């Protein structure tokens, strides 16, 4: 009986650890990205952090290392600018294709319209970003281009 309780506790702990990594819905993932670009609390107004914990929480394994690696980027890809003052962010699932879901994020940044497509995967860790596409680039290509 104790062994069964121990196994159940272990599985519960693993499930909770996995749930901490990703998000429960594609929309909540994108909403939480842009929560880091507001005018509210200082810790949530500096853009999405580049540390390993944030990378593990938001990105799939292949993109985590690139996100937290040292960069010399001319602008923040997630807002398409070196600075930001975002208007309302609209988020909509636009396509579900095999194991990926595409979520459009549209907003105004200092009077300039920005449209990005988040490519998300749902795995054991929850929803995670596998790439983000702009009209001219993708996050993966951008990070590769400007890595040190």
Domain presence at residue 44:
yes
pTM of the model: 0.82
Q: Which residue has the higher pLDDT, 143 or 146?
A: 143
Whether 114 is covered by a domain: the verdict is: yes
Q: Print the domain residue range for 31.
A: 26-146
Alpha-helical runs (H) found in the chain: 2-21, 26-34, 52-58, 61-68, 139-145
Q: How many CB atoms lie within 10 A of CB 87?
A: 13
Q: What is the CATH number of the domain that holds 53?
A: 3.10.450
Residue 68 belongs to a domain:
yes
Report, as an integer, the average pLDDT of 4-28.
54
Average pLDDT for the chain: 85
Please state the domain count of the chain.
Answer: 1
């Amino acid at each position: 009986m104790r062994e069964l309780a121990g196994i159940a506790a272990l599985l519960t702990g693993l499930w909770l650890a996995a749930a901490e990594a990703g998000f429960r819905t594609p929309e909540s993932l994108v909403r939480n990205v842009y929560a880091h670009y507001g005018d509210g609390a200082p810790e949530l107004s500096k853009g999405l952090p580049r540390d390993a914990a944030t990378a593990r929480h938001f990105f799939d394994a292949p993109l985590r290392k690139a996100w937290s690696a040292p960069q010399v980027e001319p602008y923040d890809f997630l807002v398409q600018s070196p600075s930001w003052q975002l208007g309302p962010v609209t988020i909509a699932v636009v396509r579900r294709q095999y194991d990926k879901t595409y979520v459009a994020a549209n907003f105004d940044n200092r009077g300039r319209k920005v449209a990005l497509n988040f490519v998300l995967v749902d795995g054991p860790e929850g929803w995670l970003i596998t790439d983000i596409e702009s009209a001219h680039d993708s996050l993966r290509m951008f990070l590769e281009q400007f890595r040190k």
